[in-house]
């Protein structure tokens, strides 16, 4: 029912739900879209309400799912399975939350951030992206940081930024040893491409974060 390009790498797609579907979806859930009528592709839900859910689709790999959502016009009917709930938000731990993501991996953390704010625990978001124009949901995260300065820290990290960029540079893994003491006391959530995921896990192990505090989206 809506489709919007974010920078050069991401399509934000909103899907309307039929009346018989129970919603909203659980935090951290994902759905499987049947693209081109036969090819399944998994996507985390960035938002969900009683009538719709929102996906972020990456074009970086040029895969069939990306081409499908690029070429399928608003008003089309798409078959989905799910939601599948294998990446839940952990309530009541009392620990701050640290979210590591690259590109569209930020999707499940959008609703988790709302939940952390509701719990009144601090959240830090490290979002890796090549360029400033490709930062997904930037306006929403910056607005939440402005509304809740004591609860939200949004830190996009650019690996191929222009000279005008004033924020963090490099990769999200660079900021783990720099913030080791705070990170060791936090619940860690990771969603993104495998090299980033494995890199973050290695860096967390190096500073001694307990495994019980680390949660990874693995798409089933």
Q: What is the pLDDT of residues 150-201, one digit of tens each?
A: 999 999 999 988 888 999 999 999 999 999 999 999 999 999 989 999 999 9
Distance CA 93, CA 97 (A): 10
- Quick check: 98 pLDDT over 90? yes
Reduce the DSSP state of residue 183 to 3 states and report it.
Answer: helix
Q: How confident is the model at residue 6 (pLDDT cuts 50, 70, 90)?
A: confident
Q: How confident is the model at residue 92 (pLDDT cuts 50, 70, 90)?
A: very high
CB neighbours (10 Å) of residue 127? 25
Distance CA 21, CA 96 (A): 33
* Contact between residue 1 and residue 74 where contact means Cβ atoms under 8 Å apart: yes
Distance CA 151, CA 145 (A): 7
> Which of 109-118, 172-181, 189-198, 211-220 has the least mean pLDDT?
211-220
Q: How confident is the model at residue 139 (pLDDT cuts 50, 70, 90)?
A: very high
Q: What is the pLDDT of residue 219?
A: 67
Reduce the DSSP state of residue 172 to 3 states and report it.
Answer: helix
Distance CA 209, CA 203 (A): 9
Q: What is the pLDDT of residue 220?
A: 46
Reduce the DSSP state of residue 180 to 3 states and report it.
Answer: helix
Q: Locate 86 and state its tokens.
A: 């294998």
pTM of the model as a whole: 0.93
Q: Is the dihedral of CA 156, 180, 119, 56 positive or negative?
A: positive
* Contact between residue 10 and residue 103 where contact means Cβ atoms under 8 Å apart: yes
Greatest alpha-carbon pair distance for the chain in Å reads 51
């Amino acid at each position: 029912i809506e489709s919007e390009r974010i920078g050069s790498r991401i399509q934000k797609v909103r899907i309307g739900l039929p009346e018989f579907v129970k919603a909203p979806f659980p935090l951290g859930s994902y759905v499987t879209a049947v693209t081109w009528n036969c090819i399944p592709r998994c996507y985390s839900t960035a938002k969900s309400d009683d009538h719709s859910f929102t996906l972020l689709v990456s074009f970086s790999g040029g895969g069939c799912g990306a081409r499908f959502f690029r070429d399928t016009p608003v008003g089309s009917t798409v078959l989905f399975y799910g939601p599948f709930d294998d990446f839940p938000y952990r309530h009541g731990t009392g620990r701050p939350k640290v979210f590591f993501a690259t590109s569209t991996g930020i999707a499940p953390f959008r609703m988790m951030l709302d939940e952390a704010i509701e719990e009144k625990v601090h959240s830090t978001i490290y979002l890796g992206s090549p360029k400033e124009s490709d930062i997904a949901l930037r306006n929403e995260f910056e607005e939440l940081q402005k509304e809740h300065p004591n609860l939200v820290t949004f830190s996009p990290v650019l690996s191929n930024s222009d000279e005008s960029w004033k924020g963090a540079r490099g990769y999200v893994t660079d900021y783990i040893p720099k913030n080791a003491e705070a990170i060791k006391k936090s619940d860690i959530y990771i969603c993104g491409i495998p090299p980033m995921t494995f890199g973050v896990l290695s860096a967390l192990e190096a500073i001694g974060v307990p495994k019980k505090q680390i949660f990874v989206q693995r798409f089933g």
